[in-house]
Amino acid sequence: QVQLVESGGGVVHPGRSLRLSCAASGFTFSTYVMVWVRQAPGKGLEWVALITPDGSIKSYGDSVKGRFTVSRDNSKDTLYLHMDSLRPEDTAVYFCARVDEPWTSISAALYWGPGTLVTVSS
Amino acid sequence: DIQMTQSPSTLSASVGDRVTITCRVSQSVSLWLAWYQQRPGKAPKLLIHKASTLQSGVPSRFSGSGSGTEFTLTISSLQPEDFATYYCQQYSGFSLYTFGPGTRLEIK
């Protein structure tokens, strides 16, 4: 069965960097668009980043553009989110998700990990 | 940027009620609209995609309709497990993934 498990969250000072990982299993990772979505405490869902199956196309939400980088290692079935210049407003649970259909970005997010909490605080 | 609104932001209802949540999008997204349910402390769950296609395993009391810029999610007869927060999301392109602000469905 499809499984996604995020890791790498924790407490970090403002201005510092952090890398999140999402380990995937139960499907052919290299054929699916993957996304990162975050949720600040008590707030709604916010799309963060998307990456195509081969990693050639990446896109970002406006609030993280220029600071966050999404990548993937298809040989390790792992998705990453490298976060630089972290701000207190980046504090959130970060979810990775797989879209429903292979090879297309025009597909809803069907499978989700449980999320990992990132807290940016001095 | 595409803007999304949901109404109402909070909905109070009772078990057995029929409820409808509306999602409006600032520009046409054709049918590329999904609905998610999220319970506290859990990841979102996909209920409906392509505006009206029920995801496998989701009870038939959930239904979606609409196209272009206005969409609705209807729950025909509320069950206790349906009290949660609901989000719409448009997914019409690489840089065009946006969630609505959410509708909290609470027990009256």
A59 to chain B: which residues are within 8 Å by CB?
94-95
pLDDT of amino acid B97: 87
Q: Which of A44, A50, A109 sits opposite B46 (nearest CB)?
A: A109
Judge whether A100 and B53 are in contact, CB under 8 Å: no
Across the interface, do A44 and B99 touch by the CB < 8 Å criterion?
Answer: yes
Q: What is the pLDDT of residues B18-76, one digit of tens each?
A: 999 999 999 999 999 999 999 999 999 999 999 999 999 999 999 999 999 999 999 99
Nearest CA in chain A to B9: A44
- Interacting residues of A40 by C-beta distance below 8 A, sequence separation 6+: A46, A89, A91, A92
Residue B57: partners with Cβ closer than 8 Å, 6 or more residues away:
none
Closest CA to A51 of A83, A75, A29: A29
Please check the confidence at residue A71 and state whether its pLDDT lies above 80: yes
pLDDT above 70: residue B95: no
> Would you call B84 exposed, middle or buried from its count of C-beta atoms within 10 A (0-12, 13-18, 19+)?
middle
How many angstroms separate the CA atoms of B2 and A23, rounded? 31
Instruction: Kindly report, residue by residue over A14-34, the tens digit of the pLDDT.
Output: 999 999 999 999 999 999 999
CB contact under 8 A, B99 and A109: no
Distance from the Cα of B59 to chain A's closest Cα (Å) equals 16
